[in-house]
Amino acid sequence: MTGAGGATTDVWEGPPVGSARHAAVVVRAAWKSSLAGSAEYRGDLVVGTLVSIVWLAVSAVPAVVVSLNSAGAGGWTLPRLMCLLGVWYLMDAVMWIVVMPNVGQWGEQVRSGTLDGVLLRPVHSLVLCSFRVVGVQDVPKVLLALALVVTSLVLGGGPPSVLALLAGAVCVACGLVLLWALAVLTSYKVLSHVQWDASFLLHAGLNLGRVPIPLYGDVLRVVLTWVVPVAFLTTVPAQVLFGMVPWWTVGAALGFAAASVVVVVVLWNRELRRYAGAMG
């Protein structure tokens, strides 16, 4: 477009600024930028893929050794444990692809003042602060995790019905939402308390999900299912895929996911009003 003085000006012709589609366009552009940046270290990317395979093998050792030495802990046979491991690995992948490169950097961004620049952009701050950067090195983990889930389902007799498969997929999606919500809840206070760091709770929650939650005993099972819903990250999706739990569990997963989004958005907006910047 040519202005009155003959100068060329850029006009935004994409989705309306502030809309969800606009946010998606901005996030996609940011991801392309991350991909271009990581292309500088292609060797590290290849090594990272190999390391991801080794880590998956490391994570599988306990389940394999348990099944070699016993009939299976608490009815969790090897395919079921492997399915749970696949779901856990998917959560771990998303943790390092999306959560840590974004939420994990809030403290440093607040201290250095770079968060100010992010907050000024015309996209909802929580979206931009949560999904702007992508850790490309860990992307192969997603494929490995999905391959493990599919293999374990085939070996373990598969889901009892197509509906169970769909319900399992819904529960995995709910688990991803809960993971993001847990990450935000453990970190959003850094906006007003510069040295805040409760990320150990997030790591603890995810690590507790490495094994089926019912194995922790009655008290911890209730706590980790209904108080801090760690069970919905890994155990419930695996249980739903194998038809081990009643259908209302899927509704509970959806309810937890929806409630966590509402709580996170409300708390983020409230904390943002207290943000004063802390440029070092």
Partner 1 sequence: MTPPSPPAPLAPSVPGPPAADETAVRGAVHVVRSGVALLRAEVQARSAYRAQILLGSLGWVVPLAFLALWRDAAADGPVGGITAAGFTTYFAVLLAMSNLWLTGTVVFATAGRVHSGQLSAMLLRPAPPLLVPVAEGLATNVFRLPVVLVGVPVLVLLGGGAVTSDPADWLLAPAVGVVGIVAVTYVASLVACVAFWMTKAQGVMGLVIGLEWVLGGMVAPVALMPGPLPALLVHQPFWYAGGAPAEILAGIGDHGPTVLLEALAWVLVLHLLLRVVWRRGLRRYEAVGS
- Residues at the interface with partner 1 (CB under 8 A): 41, 43-44, 47-48, 50-51, 54-55, 58, 61-63, 65-66, 68-74, 137, 195, 197-198, 200-201, 203-204, 207-208, 210-211, 215-217
Least distance to partner 1, CB of residue 99, Å:
15
Shorter beta-carbon distance to partner 1: residue 107 or 237 = 107
Least distance between partner 1 and beta carbon 109 (Å):
17
**How is 40-79 classified by DSSP, letter by letter?**
GGHHHHHHHHHHHHHHHHHHHHHHHHHHHHSS-BTTB-HH
Name the 3-class secondary structure at 105: helix
Closest CB to partner 1 among residues 68, 227: 68
274 within 8 A of 192, measured Cβ to Cβ: yes
Q: How far is the CB of 40 from partner 1 (least distance, A)?
A: 9
206, 154, 152, 153: which is closest to 179 by C-alpha? 206
Which residue lies nearer to partner 1 by CB, 17 or 215? 215
- Smallest CA-to-CA distance from 131 within 175, 174, 99, 107 is with 99
How many beta carbons lie within 10 A of that of residue 179, not counting itself?
26
DSSP states of 241-279 as a string? HTT-S-THHHHHHHHHHHHHHHHHHHHHHHHHTT-----
Q: Between residues 74 and 280, which has the closer beta carbon with respect to partner 1?
A: 74
Residue 64 or 173: the one with the smaller Cβ distance to partner 1 is 64
Residue 277 backbone class (left: φ over 0; alpha: ψ -120 to 50; beta: rest) = left
Q: How far is the CB of 37 from partner 1 (least distance, A)?
A: 12
Q: How far is the CB of 28 from partner 1 (least distance, A)?
A: 26
Here the tokens at position 69 are 């030495």
Least distance from partner 1 to the Cβ atom of residue 238, Å: 14
